[in-house]
């Protein structure tokens, strides 16, 4: 990261030997950090909060999709895992972090 910052500072210096205001370089770096925050970091944190809230609100009977693409219905839920019924009398144990989204949302969109 430090090498990247040094490269950016060197690129922002004029080539013809004129002195540049050092505050312009600092402002340029601050602008880059702000852009990274608003376009990369902030949306990711927001998405993580939504997923955490969704997983906390899961209940027995909810239709879900796992990160592996398995569709099922929650048969039982514990603190760290859930039993998902993927077919009649077929249940699998899945970690809560592997549950991606609610499958009932997909049915409403169609």
The whole-number pLDDT of residue 6 equals 67
Q: What is the DSSP letter of 78?
A: -
Residue-level pLDDT at 107: 59
Say if residue 7 is in the same domain as residue 50: yes
Q: How many folded domains does the chain comprise?
A: 2
105 and 63, same structural domain?
A: yes
One domain, residues 85 and 103: yes
Mean pLDDT for each 10-residue chunk of the chain (110 residues)?
66 60 83 89 91 90 91 92 94 92 65
Determine the structural domain holding residue 49 and report its residue range.
2-13+21-54
Does 84 lie in the same domain as 46? no
CATH of the domain at 75: 2.30.30.140
85, 68: one domain: yes
pLDDT of residue 15: 58
99-102 sheet: strands from edge to edge: 90-95, 81-87, 71-77, 63-66, 99-102
Do 43 and 79 lie in one domain? The reply is: no
80 plus 99 within the same structural domain: yes
Q: Are residues 36 and 7 in the same domain?
A: yes
* pTM across the whole model: 0.60
């Amino acid at each position: 990261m430090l090498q990247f910052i040094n490269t950016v500072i060197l690129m922002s210096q004029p080539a013809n030997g004129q002195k540049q205001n050092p505050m312009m370089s600092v402002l340029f770096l601050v602008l880059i950090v702000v852009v990274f925050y608003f376009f990369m970091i902030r949306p990711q944190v927001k998405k993580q909060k939504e997923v955490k809230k969704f997983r906390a609100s899961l209940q027995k009977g909810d239709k879900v999709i796992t990160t592996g693409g398995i569709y099922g219905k929650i048969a039982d839920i514990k603190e760290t895992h859930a039993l998902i019924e993927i077919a009649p009398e077929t249940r699998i144990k899945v970690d809560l972090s592997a549950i991606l989204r609610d499958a009932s949302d997909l049915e409403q969109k169609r």
